[in-house]
Amino acid sequence: MISYLRGKLLAKSKASFIVEAGGVGYEINLPGYVESCLRDRVLGSDIEFYILYHHPEQATRPKLFGFNNQLEREFFEELTRVKDVGPTRALSIFASPVGKMARAIAEGDANALTKIKGVGPQMAKKIIAELQQRAAKYALLPESVPGAEGEAPVGTSLEQVKLEVLGVLTSQLGHSRAEAQSMIEAAVKRNSEIETAEQLFDEVYRGAKG
């Protein structure tokens, strides 16, 4: 099964890119948000995707869905597990930035979700009911398309990263401030190479499971 692909961009459209890797051209289906992040890539440039391999029983050939990182892929998989969503509808829902969608889910904001194409009131309630407890992790992803006006600058300090994760742990996951700070410091002690909020949250989550 293909889970990661890196190669040369041979062709692109709004719905998919064709990437040559090892002499083979792979058609990568792109959710709208991912395509908006990559639409300025020039043909012949190096490109990489985290891949979700999907081969439904009734289909004659599998489909490859491409994402910028592992968290996006995980969030897409979470969406497909919601009853009546599936990969096709998830592709449509994924037109919005992942952080923005995940924050709405974590906060139970059904009105915000209904502004996404293909999500009605009942679907919004269903997504929140099934994903609210797991959405905070993905709310750390950007809420805008990279490079868009007003986007936060790259190069966030570790202290800012700690504050961002602290806010999620206390306001969305119900931890006390002291407990959250202890979890964060333990995570940083285990992994001194943490640079982003996503990496820190992952390390905190691993520590909580352990």
Could you tell me the residue ranges of all domains in the chain?
Answer: 1-151, 158-209
Residue 84 has φ and ψ, to the nearest 5°, of: 75, 10
Quote the pLDDT of residue 208.
67
The answer to whether 50 and 66 are in contact (CB under 8 A) is yes
> How distant is the alpha carbon of residue 48 from its chain centre?
15
Quote the pLDDT of residue 37.
86
Q: SS3 helix, strand, coil % of the chain, rounded to 5? A: 45, 15, 35
E strand or H helix at 115, and its extent? Answer: none
CATH superfamily of the domain spanning 1-151? Nucleic acid-binding proteins (2.40.50.140)
In this structure, how many other beta carbons lie within 10 angstroms of the beta carbon of residue 45? 10
The answer to whether 187 and 204 are in contact (CB under 8 A) is yes
Amino acid code (one letter) for 130: E
The pTM for the full model equals: 0.67
- Bridge partner residues of 65 (DSSP): 29, 52
Quote the pLDDT of residue 27.
94
List per-residue pLDDT tens for the chain, 210 residues long.
788 899 999 999 888 999 999 999 999 999 888 888 888 889 999 999 999 988 766 667 788 999 988 888 889 999 988 988 888 788 888 888 888 888 889 889 999 999 888 789 999 999 999 998 888 778 777 665 554 433 433 344 677 678 778 877 877 777 887 888 888 989 999 988 888 888 888 888 887 665
Quote the pLDDT of residue 131.
92
